Structure 1
């Protein structure tokens, strides 16, 4: 892509065309019209954005921004169809987490619970019972319901009636009856799919009390807790997460669109942050600028704590202190991405603080870029690679490129010293959707993975001195296709000319 083509792409972001109405994709007059139509719904009657209260975020048929209610229904039905008869599925919402005292973090729903329900409130649970009716299952959603006293402090919650009509539950019940209902059903079904906390450790013992706190934050007594837990300690209990992971590994067209939107928001933030960066700027200012731009474009949060590593700090793979000052002549490695409408983005770019690569920086950057582009080209179902095989090839590609730059590498030096991390991970609702992902499985069309080779040269005598203390990583999100991969993070400048053009303001972009 030429500098001119990238400039046009950045000035006309593609994510606006695939997303519903967004604040940054409409003119002020259209925005005022949309906002005016929602004024009668302030404050909202629901515990999350829905079309009646937030028409600027959702279309009428959508349950969450970009994802229609029918897709959630399809996910549940696909899961239940895959299970044997006489099966029960249990999922609970994420707990509220606290920074200090009663000051909580911004709530984020548990990923698998959200994937199947679209329900974004805490203190909730869902039970799916496999049945022989036309739907194939029965869904009971437990939540806090309406509570005027709590809502005065915390905001609206969705009524049980609306839970049934909007979220397509067969029944909606108060969360405090969840333990009793679970206990009664556990004795009926032969196959119970539920994920419990990890096995007991000295630091976090798996006691009956801790289990019920996980299963229901509104536990009423230890005896009730123990009876529920006892009903689950049976051979019929099976893990649920691996089954949902298989569904989540292949992204639907709607999911692909939301992920492209998330990547575009992050990519444009990268381009403007490159322009914003100057020697003397703090790493923390770079991180803040990136987050501000993402938030301004509709992102709900960053997907992870960003890495802004200047100079030798880039040799620390997960450097998140971000508390030093950028010096003239240094490279800056930024690993950052936003979360948008429930889906994460993950991009890494390395660029020169001065706006132009030095000769040595150019050579090492080109080596990593050449390897990365070759690896992206192999992210197809037809190529039939596994992540393990792609990682081995990344080591081979980087070894060839480095030897051409005068490195005299001994066996294992690439893997142990210069490139100590894995090439790739799946990405989607979670930044790393890899807990139940088989790195030895063949890539399939519809998967989204990262491709992120890197080289980190410590100041050791066996490596060419002009590359000492350079850390370069280039990371893109790649949608695996049948025969051709699609780079979702294409909006983030990557070619040498484009990176330098972004830094120097040649793309026609202002930093803010």
Structure 2
């Protein structure tokens, strides 16, 4: 709040339950900004932060929630009462969610500025109920465009300003506590990658491998997958976001697994590629080592002292990959295959509460100490005549989660093997490694 003007309000609303069909709901996940600001993991809630220099923290925090309801709790479980919201979540004041629109309207009348996020595609119509108003403001609400006008009317001449960029600036640099949580999330996922290499065998279904990875993460304390896992065998590895996971794994294929868990609200994001039968062929090893050589060089650039941005690291990845591919027989002549065909994605992205941490992140800005980013170069060779036939239908991506340091990066996913000898050792169960 220190960068906001005196008397300003920051307004953030919790996520809402989402439904597959009828009354069949998805597992609830809190709105990312609301989770960051409050740590409160229930739907139908809101927070108003008022900038007050006279307050001990420099701001006054009002939270709004459903509170206890004996009848509903028989179906949905216990909710946090208002008293506990104050005691455990740092609120100066807690009130029922039903009064949120009225309190916000009253506070806005005296505010210097109001920060909150306008729903995409908003059109003025007539407001309805407190709950529909709340649902409409929520990033995950998805209600019709009917719930917003009375708030805008209450602002008078004040124009609402977006909150998300302000929160994104805070979320970009991880605190020591956040770093430890992300280290644990990455370690859970790294161990799961290691054991999943041991588990995988030719003839298995990709979805069985995905289920094994998710089981290992859940057993070790993860609350959910961070995203739908990619388990791509053979030519499926050429599809960047392959999530069908419905093919059988053949004996001579490579298996690309892009999977991570969510632990205490923070995501992990790791990719490893390994041979289904536990042993690299010479061709697989040659292409794999080319990508690995580049990936390790890129990780070394993840420091504040490098002065580099994610975009600059990406361009460096293109230069390095081109050199490595030319070294092993690829030719990039005019009119033939281009690097864009083989490497169609960006080298990495910030990660944190969200897998892709913020749409407001400036990829051209120098990376800073305390950021966590992924480094994930990949090569995906389609069966085209301009590319060496020995590498056709091989897709390789190696992705680590990296904590940016002042002069030295810290690889949070260090326990996921990526050297060929270590991968083959994991696949073959050397040193007593088991699949469980």
User: Secondary structure of 1:173's partner?
Assistant: strand
Q: Conserved in 1, the CA contact under 8 Å of 2:229 and 2:257?
A: yes
Q: CA separation in 2, counterparts of 1:408 and 1:125?
A: 57
Q: Give the length in aligned residue pairs.
A: 426
Structure 1 311/120 Cα, relative in aligned 2: closer, same or farther at 3 Å? same
Matched ranges for 1:185-224 at <5 A? 185-200=107-122, 207-208=125-126, 213-215=135-137
> Does residue 170 in structure 1 map to residue 92 in structure 2?
yes
The equivalent residue for 2:163 is 240
Structure 1 152/389 Cα, relative in aligned 2: closer, same or farther at 3 Å? same
**CA deviation string 1:196-228 (max 9, x = no partner):** 21124xxxx67555765323899xxx9985322
Q: CA separation in 1, counterparts of 2:408 and 2:53?
A: 41
Deviation, 1:187, is 1.6
Alignment RMSD (CA, Å): 1.9
5+ long unaligned stretches in structure 2: none
Q: Conserved in 2, the CA contact under 8 Å of 1:199 and 1:206?
A: no
The equivalent residue for 2:2 is 81
**CA deviation string 1:237-281 (max 9, x = no partner):** 111111111111111111111111111100110111000111000
The equivalent residue for 1:471 is 395
Q: Conserved in 1, the CA contact under 8 Å of 2:45 and 2:97?
A: yes
5+ long unaligned stretches in structure 1: 1-79
The equivalent residue for 1:360 is 283
Matched ranges for 1:133-144 at <5 A? 133-135=54-56, 136-144=58-66
User: Secondary structure of 1:426's partner?
Assistant: coil
User: Secondary structure of 2:324's partner?
Assistant: helix
**CA deviation string 1:164-198 (max 9, x = no partner):** 12222111111011011111112211210101211
User: Secondary structure of 1:81's partner?
Assistant: coil
Q: CA separation in 1, counterparts of 2:146 and 2:232?
A: 52
The equivalent residue for 2:361 is 437
The equivalent residue for 2:81 is 159
User: Secondary structure of 2:54's partner?
Assistant: coil
Q: Conserved in 1, the CA contact under 8 Å of 2:114 and 2:158?
A: no
Q: Conserved in 2, the CA contact under 8 Å of 1:192 and 1:237?
A: yes
Q: CA separation in 1, counterparts of 2:369 and 2:192?
A: 28
The equivalent residue for 1:510 is 434
> Does residue 127 in structure 1 map to residue 51 in structure 2?
no
Q: CA separation in 2, counterparts of 1:341 and 1:280?
A: 35
Q: CA separation in 2, counterparts of 1:426 and 1:157?
A: 33
Matched ranges for 1:358-437 at <5 A? 358-410=281-333, 413-437=337-361
Matched ranges for 1:258-269 at <5 A? 258-269=181-192
> Does residue 96 in structure 1 map to residue 14 in structure 2?
no
The equivalent residue for 1:337 is 260
Q: CA separation in 1, counterparts of 2:155 and 2:377?
A: 44
Q: Conserved in 2, the CA contact under 8 Å of 1:395 and 1:414?
A: no
Q: CA separation in 2, counterparts of 1:156 and 1:362?
A: 54
User: Secondary structure of 1:176's partner?
Assistant: helix
| TM-score normalised by length of structure 2 | 0.94
